[in-house]
Structure formats: C-alpha cells, structure tokens
Structure 1
C-alpha cells in the first residue's frame, strides 16, 4: 500500500478507507492473486456485495490489519 491517505474505492467517495476488500477474478487471475479495493464504513457492504455476487470476494479485512501483515 502506498503512503498516501487511503480513500474509499467507491465512485466519487473521498472518505477515509478503513476496510480492505481482497478479491480475485478467477477467469483472469491465478487462485493466490489478490486485488484490493478500499472501503469506508458506508460503502463496505455495497462494494462487498458487488464483488460477492460475481464470486470475486475472497476476504474483508480492517485496513490496519492488512497493512500490519505487509501485503
């Protein structure tokens, strides 16, 4: 993750991100690959549902925990 202030990935949202949504498109990515979207509290459920409906969502982790794991 960069040292910039992490903002939510929802279109037009500039709120501080506090969640990491780890996902993978099995048609494009190897099983272990994880792409990430960041989410504020307001958009966490919406973004999670978007990814989950497509079978892409792998994990939802607090941003601080993700950063501590040094992904």
Structure 2
C-alpha cells in the first residue's frame, strides 16, 4: 500500500495510520497464537510488535495534530 504523493495531506496521514493499525493488529494476533515460550520466533515477533506500536503511536499523533491544526 504505497502512499500517493498527490493525495491531500489528510488522506496521506489517514492512510499511514491505517497501515500502521493493520500491521500492529496482525502482529499482535500472531503473537497471541504463539504464546510466550521464549522461542526466538516469539522474541522476533515481539520486537516487531514493539516497532509497529511505535509506528502506530507516531502516525496517530501526526494525524491528530494535523486535524487539530486544521480545525
């Protein structure tokens, strides 16, 4: 899901947030199915989830700040 540089700013920010949300949900659902057994696969997926959570927070804040500035 590439972001079209010609989309309006709000649409670009919404799309980035949607992508981050989808990635986070997929990783969290996968982690729940693995359980916490300390395996290298679990650790990798956990680290990916932390990174996805940071992206989710970043793009959520960007979107909220942009909306607040435009109102």
- State TM-score, norm by structure 2: 0.25
Larger relative contact order, structure 1 or 2 (CA cutoff 8 Å, min sep 6): 2
More strand by share: 1
More helix by share: 2
- State TM-score, norm by structure 1: 0.25
Larger Rg: 2
